[in-house]
Structure formats: C-alpha cells, structure tokens
Amino acid sequence: MKNLIAAIFLFGGVFFSSAQNIDDYKYILIPESYEFLGEVNQYQLNALTKFLFEREGFNTLMSTGEKPQDLSRNGCLGLSANVLNNSGIFVTKLQIELKDCNGKVIFKSEEGRSREKEFKVAYNEALRDAFKSVEKLNYKYDPTSEKSSEESVETVAVKFAVDTTSSSEITNESSSQPEIIEKEAKSEPSEDKPKYVHKNKSYLLNKNSQGLALFQEGSTEPIAMLIETDGGKSYIYNSLTRQGIAYFDANENLVVEYFDQQQNKKVILKYELSSQ
C-alpha cells in the first residue's frame, strides 16, 4: 500500500514538474503522421492536433516544414508533439506527449477516451478529450527562460552591430526594412496569381513559409492555411472551422477533403483553376 501511495505521489510530482516547464518553450512541432496510423494526416488527426494547440496559444510548426531562424539556431526552443494510442477493444484511448530536444518527456496528458465505433469520430473525440489536460496548463511563453538564452545573446550581438554602424547606413537600411516586414505580416494575396473559382466566387493562393494561404478575392485575411507535406504533393488544410487535406488534381484544380462530423460523411470541395 505504501509503495502504491509513493508511486502516485511520484507520478503526480513528475506531471506537475513537467507542466511547470512548458512556458519555457516557444514552439510545438507537429509530425505529418503518427506511428499508429499508416497515412499522412490520416483521419485529419495531425491537423486537429495543430489546431487544438494553436487554440491554447501555442506557436505550432510542422516538423518537416521550414523553421524560423531562432529555432534553427536553438532547437531546444521547441517541443515535439506525439499522440500515443492506448486503445482497447471497446474504448479508443489517446494520450498527448511532448518531448524536448533531448528526447525527454516534458508533458504527458491524461488519456482522452471515446466509445464511438467509427475510427474518424473516435480518434477526433478522444484527442479533444485528451486536450483538456493541455487546457489546464494555461500556457504562456516565457522569453526570459534558459531555453531562450542563445536567442538573447544573438539579440545583444545584433544590437551591438547596429550601434557601431554609421548613421548613413542606418538611414539607408531603415528606409527599406519596414516595407518588407509589413508585407510579410499582412501576407496579402497577389492579384497576378492564378485564380480559382468555387460556388461563383474567386479565390487566390499566396505562398508563405509553411505552405499556402487561401484568400477570397478582394480580402486581406486568409480563410484557410494549407501546410505543405510530402514535398508539396499534399497539404494539411486548416481553417477556423475545418481540418482536412488538400491537393492539386491533374487539371491543377485545388481539391479539399474533410470529414463533416454533423453529417457523418466526407466532404470534397473543388476550387477550379480559372482560365481568366
């Protein structure tokens, strides 16, 4: 009995300690697929993982995608996400795991459960249930942590370089830099890009660091992000209300597939390449 109580306290201590360290990490890296599934983003589980982490304030990246400069310099700013399948015959059970750059488990959620029989519905329901543990973390990145020390040192180095630059060089650089930053932040679609038509409305695609952004023509805010996978052969489709996959067919039309839980069926959307 004493051993059992000690084990419970030990597990609780590990969980609490891990939760305490989550704020030290700036990024969550999401894999394209999980070991217990055979396909990229099968059942849209990887896209849903990304969406749920972002909903809780985490900055997420696909593990195979392009990495920001600070993460490339210091890989320990990120945690690698994984989903463990502990399912039995009648109950689907999933658990979320986060590992640091050394492979150490920093966080493991409680098991999320579902008794649904259909795999797609069961996995989605169990993952959302497991994310209740993530919600309790109340995550907020702490840039003063030790994990960010390398980033801070380089920031000081950059500041020193600027201080020793001549005033004329600073003037020339500052005149062009804000415009570049503004364009990157807005990520507005270029009107000279190919247009796509869906339900008599026109859409544009704009390339970004993770893949593509889908805009309705005339809008400056994207309606969905397409995260590149498999070398650009397919994409994880992520909008405010839908998660699925996207790809271009033989005629270069954009095809989006997702599972509608309310209708309990797969939905296929086609954005046809316009000839205009």
Domain ranges across the chain: 2-147, 195-273
Of 100, 135, 137, whose CA–CA distance to 16 is shortest? 137
Query: Residue-wise over 73-93: b if at least 16 C-beta within 10 A, else e?
Result: ebebbbbbbbbbeebeeeebb
Rounded to whole angstroms, the Cα distance separating 56 from 63 reads: 19
Query: Beta-carbon neighbour count of residue 5 at 10 Å?
Result: 9
Q: What are the pLDDT digits (tens) for 148-205?
A: 554 443 443 333 333 434 333 433 433 333 333 333 334 455 556 789 999 888 999 9
Give pLDDT tens digits for 36-80.
887 888 888 998 999 999 989 999 998 887 888 999 899 999 999
Question: What is d(CA 203, CA 224) in angstroms, rounded to the nearest whole number?
Answer: 11
CA 232 to the chain's CA centroid:
17
Longest dimension (CA), the chain: 76
